[in-house]
Amino acid sequence: MANNQNKRITLQEVAEHAGVSTTTASLVVRNNPRISQATRERVLNSIEELGYIYDRVAANMRSQSSNLIGVIVTNIANKFISEFLIGAQNKLEEFGYTVLLGTTFDNAEKQQNLISTMVEHRVDGLILNPSSRSLEKTVKHLNNLKIPLVLANRELHTINADYVGIDYEQGAYQAVTHLVKKGHRRIAFLGGIRESSTWIGRMEGYRRAYKENDLLFDESIIIDSSPTIEGGEEAALALLSSSNPPTAIFCFSDMIAFGVMKVLSKQGIEVGSDMDIVGFDNIPDAEIYHPPLTTVSSFPKSIGIQAAKLLHSKISGESTELQRIILKPELVVRDTSK
């Protein structure tokens, strides 16, 4: 083995090899047009010959910018989140950033650690899909952040930051109104974490639809849970044990709806005839599920794209005022409520 096997070639060595200064070599690797074609080619040849690899870490350190964006999400196994992440990542890469990914698994401590790590890595900006609960320390930290921050999907009202999400209130309102038009007068709301802004938003829409249609509001058919299939199963079991079950269920998410339907079908309750169901998110599975699920479509990929765009405009100083971008949801009627 050669003894220079593990040593990276530096720009200075390239410069020496090409017979120019490091300044010139540096300008060449960054495609600065003020270097003559002849010199540029000499340098590029040396780079090729020596197998030089640009050291972005050193460059970033000197120029005080990292081109790194931290993206922190609750759980990539959730289809809504993975779609969101794809949108954000694609757009960020288009802008020339590299993504530093963190997953909190909805854990507040993990979220705090990830934010610290990313800030220590000198990310140029941060997109945060907050966990359902955040430490006070984290709120303080985020409010003192010197870099642009965009919150996504879940709002933290204690934090002064830009926000991109969908109109949960409107989505829930559409879902419940749709069920009312089908003749339902007793509609449960199942799943989701009661403290989260995403749950509260839906609750407001649910209430508005109840009020406008003079339905009898009943806390006992509003059951929260963790936002997973298992959570949906638990909520459904709790609901079925009640003395006065509803005729339709509005679910916090499609995942919740899947859990609910799993329980219903085990109990011999036919979805779409005995009980109508509406989900939320319109994940790809909603369409291929049996029966296909009526749901509120919420364009997670668009949210990701918007968040990336907004962050980029903040970083480049184009936009300075705080913004809230709220995307409109859309009801997709399928077999669970026809």
Q: What are the residues binding a copy of itself (CB under 8 A)?
A: 5-6, 8, 51, 53-58, 60-61, 66, 68, 76-77, 79, 82-83, 85-86, 89, 98-103, 117-122, 144, 146, 229, 258, 262, 284-285, 288-290
Residue 102 interacting partner from a copy of itself, DNA, none (CB closer than 5 to 8 Å by kind): a copy of itself
Which residue, 37 or 320, is less far from a copy of itself as judged by CB?
Answer: 320
- Amino acid residing at 268: G
102, 47 Cβ separation under 8 angstroms: no
Query: What is the C-alpha to C-alpha distance for residues 136 and 125, in angstroms, rounded to an integer?
Result: 21
* Smallest separation (angstroms) from a copy of itself to the CB of 321: 16
Round to whole Å and give the CA distance between 265 and 64.
58
Taking the complex as a whole, how short is the minimal distance between the CB of residue 114 and a copy of itself, in angstroms?
A: 8
**Nearest-approach distance from CB 219 to a copy of itself, in angstroms:** 29
Q: Are 104 and 110 in contact (CB under 8 A)?
A: yes
Q: Which does 21 bind (CB under 5 to 8 A by kind): DNA, a copy of itself, none?
A: DNA
CB of 282 to a copy of itself, least distance (A): 14
Q: Which does residue 289 touch among DNA, a copy of itself, none (CB within 5 to 8 A, set by kind)? A: a copy of itself
Q: If contact means CB under 5 to 8 A according to the sort of partner, which of DNA, a copy of itself, none does residue 11 touch?
A: DNA
DSSP, residue by residue, 32-84:
-TTS-HHHHHHHHHHHHHHT----HHHHHHHHT---EEEEEES-TTSHHHHHH
Please give the Cα distance from 210 to 179 (Å, whole number): 11
State both tokens at 50. 């020596």
Residue placing its CB nearer to DNA in the complex, 43 or 293: 43
Q: Which one, 66 or 294, has the nearer CB to a copy of itself?
A: 66
> What are the backbone angles phi and psi of residue 98, rounded to the nearest 5°?
-115, 145
In terms of residues, how long is the chain?
338
CB of 26 to DNA, least distance (A): 3
What residue 34 binds from a copy of itself, DNA, none (CB within 5 to 8 A, per partner kind)? DNA
144 binds, among a copy of itself, DNA, none (CB under 5 to 8 A by kind): a copy of itself
- Contact predicate 121/68, CB 8 Å: yes
Closest separation in Å from C-beta 281 to DNA:
42
Residues making contact with DNA (CB under 7 A): 7-8, 10-12, 19-24, 26-27, 29-30, 34-36, 38-39, 52, 54-55, 58-59, 61-64
Instruction: Quote the least distance from Cβ 319 to a copy of itself, whole Å.
Output: 17
Q: Which of 8, 130, 35 is nearest to 74 (CA)?
A: 130
Are 310 and 211 in contact by the 8 Å Cβ rule? The answer is no
Residue type, 242: S
Is 186 within 8 Å of 193 (Cβ atoms)? no
Q: Quick one: what does residue 30 bind among a copy of itself, DNA, none, with the CB cut-off 5 to 8 Å set by partner type? A: DNA
Quick one: 12 or 265, whose CB is closer to DNA? Answer: 12
Question: Which entry of a copy of itself, DNA, none binds 151, CB below 5 to 8 A by partner kind?
Answer: none
Q: Tokens 């100083």 label which residue?
A: 317
Strand partners, 324: 163
